[in-house]
Amino acid sequence: MLKNRVQSVFKLNGLQLRQEAAKYLADLLKPVEEQNRDQWIEKILSQVEKQELKTAVIDLGILEQAVSECTADDNSEENSDLLNIISCFEVPRVTFAPDRKKYLKDDLLGRPPPRLLAPGGSKSTVYLDRFAMLQQRTARHDLFSGTGTVEKKYQLKPVEFLLGTVNRLDNVIVLGMLTQITYGTYYLEDPSGVVKLDLSETKFHMGLYTENCFVLSEGWFDEDVFHVLALGFPPAETSETTRSYFGTTNFFGGPFETSVKGNQKLQIAEQTESDAMFVFLSDVWLDEPEVQVRLQKLFAGYADMPPTAFVFCGNFINNSSTGVDYNNSLKDHLKQLADMINNHSTLQEKSKFLFVPGPLDPGSPNIYPRPPLPAYLTQELRDQVPSAHFLTNPARIQYCTQDIVIFREDIVTKMCRNAIYFPETGDIPSHFARTLTCQGHLAPLPLYTSPVYWDFDRSLYLYPLPDLIVSADKFEPFAAENLECKVINPGSFQRQDYSFKTYIPSTRTVEDSQIPGDHDEEME
């Protein structure tokens, strides 16, 4: 047992670990690869011996201090923070190369640098790249490859296979994109061709099916029509499974050359920082007096236990003014927010304040990814609160070994409104979480419904799956999960009775929270 191994190493050095201390260290070292555990035990032991010990019996407090100092030294050596903010305009540009069955950097594949105003040919590349990502993931799934514990049962066929036959084909499965080439008639499209669909007898599996999402269609083909009996999404896979195929490739971004998932120093730091917490709020209308009152209570409540970060999602103004009036109002209210934060020195020193723009906030057209709020509106807040950061939308946060994606868009509402089939059973959050994780994309909708800069579409990718997706939507708050990926919506702050979500990385748990009003406190 690892616990006994830890105790024996300390005993050989004349020290005795208390039971709770030995269990703590054993649990801490479980994620570390076995061949590196001894190195870490020796490193922590050395740090313990540097302390002024009054006894040879080592309790939990002494050990926690040694581990904290040990990981602090390692992090300073790497010159990196535990929390890293990643602009969606700087997401690693890697593309799947079918001939080599791996992801390669775009410059190695001869692809030009991305442009906001990309040429027309880039529009088709958006869907070709999405298809390539999903096709390689689906093809190696146990049901199609025959590897692993599941016997191969199915075989994927391209659309051209259907179009190239004159006979009836039964039990055919095709991966493609749902399109509506002519009004009221759906088609299935892949890089090899397009085939007309008959969905009159289709059974829809779990998920929200919209135009331009990718699906697995099962049915029979006859007389140029594919009669679909069952429609489902390409199977998703855990982040661990993805990385087992592509090694240490850094898909997410950040200061590290390789994926942080295997970084043992960050794994240990993640467990030692048990007090780390993220607070997520959406539709924080700073011009509403009651919102200001509740935010003051929020800051006062967390003053004694500062979170790692407060994440505020827009829209930040609720009034109907536009242009100069809107901008001036936003600038003034951001300065008021800075004054609130400055009333609590512990928060200003120990917490980060992160801001993600909403659809109506100024700065750019409503095309994703969106840049941060303009600097001239945020300068006063940044001057007064140095720990304030203004993020892109969507935004990426890397905390220790965990990947967090934040997207402020009413995407749940849009997907429900544009669904070609509305689920008859199950709850919407579960359908939504499954849709995002299976599609590997934050907005699997037509470009006219959810516009995206063609060359930056991959900034909305969810592949490999992150640990947490924060989809800030005006839809009611929820928390769902699929394949170890949590999907949460903090809800509209004022509309949902000043509720918000908190996330604790060390335990990977999501908690529902709410700021009570004066009347609520009197009732209690």
Could you tell me which CATH class the domain 2-79 is placed in? mainly alpha
Can you tell me the distance from the alpha carbon of 397 to that of 467, in angstroms, rounded to the nearest whole number? 11
Q: Is residue 209 helix, strand or coil?
A: strand
pLDDT per residue rounded down to tens, the chain (524 residues): 777 887 787 787 778 888 888 888 888 887 776 767 777 787 788 777 777 777 888 888 887 788 777 766 554 334 347 999 999 999 999 999 888 888 999 988 889 999 999 999 899 999 999 999 999 999 988 888 766 555 557 889 999 999 998 889 999 999 999 999 988 899 999 999 999 999 999 999 999 999 999 999 999 999 999 999 999 999 999 999 999 999 889 999 999 988 999 888 898 899 888 899 999 999 999 999 999 999 999 999 999 999 999 999 999 999 766 667 888 999 999 999 999 999 999 999 999 999 999 999 998 888 999 999 999 999 999 999 999 999 999 999 999 999 999 999 999 999 999 999 999 888 999 999 999 999 999 999 999 999 999 999 999 999 999 999 999 999 999 999 999 999 999 999 999 999 999 999 999 999 999 998 765 554 34
Element (H, E) at 319: none
Half-sphere exposure for 469 (CA within 13 Å, toward CB): 33
Q: Is residue 321 helix, strand or coil?
A: coil
pLDDT of residue 77: 37
Beta strands of 15-80 (E only): which ranges?
A: 16-17, 57-58
pLDDT of residue 303: 96
Half-sphere exposure for 114 (CA within 13 Å, toward CB): 21
Cβ-proximal residues to 311 (8 Å cutoff; 6+ apart), any chain:
278, 279, 280, 281, 354, 356, 406, 470
Cβ-proximal residues to 398 (8 Å cutoff; 6+ apart), any chain:
83, 84, 86, 252, 253, 254, 260, 404
Give residue for tokens 């709770």: 20
Q: Which two tokens stand for residue 192?
A: 């090899």
Return the CATH number of the domain spanning residue range 239-262+274-409+450-516.
3.60.21.60
Can you tell me the distance from the alpha carbon of 482 to that of 162, in angstroms, rounded to the nearest whole number? 33
pLDDT of residue 147: 60
Can you tell me the distance from the alpha carbon of 369 to that of 442, in angstroms, rounded to the nearest whole number? 11
Intervals of CATH 1.10.8.60 along the chain: 2-79
Element (H, E) at 71: helix 60-78
Give the distance, in angstroms, between the CA of residue 199 and the centroid of all CA atoms in the same chain: 33
Can you tell me the distance from the alpha carbon of 93 to that of 247, in angstroms, rounded to the nearest whole number? 16
Contact 463, 483 (CB under 8 A): no
pLDDT of residue 522: 44
Q: Is residue 123 helix, strand or coil?
A: helix
Contact 114, 93 (CB under 8 A): yes
pLDDT of residue 76: 39
Contact 259, 250 (CB under 8 A): yes
* pTM for the predicted model, two decimal places: 0.85
Can you tell me the distance from the alpha carbon of 415 to that of 85, in angstroms, rounded to the nearest whole number? 28
Can you tell me the distance from the alpha carbon of 323 to that of 321, in angstroms, rounded to the nearest whole number? 7
pLDDT of residue 79: 37
Query: Which conformational region is residue 132 in: left (phi greater than 0), alpha (psi within -120 to 50 degrees), or beta?
Result: alpha
pLDDT of residue 78: 41
Can you tell me the distance from the alpha carbon of 378 to that of 373, in angstroms, rounded to the nearest whole number? 7
Q: Which two tokens stand for residue 91?
A: 């997401």
Phi–psi pair at 235, nearest 5 degrees: -65, 135
pLDDT of residue 322: 65
pLDDT of residue 75: 43
Q: Which two tokens stand for residue 245?
A: 């195929």
Intervals of CATH 3.60.21.60 along the chain: 239-262+274-409+450-516
Give residue for tokens 């935004």: 395
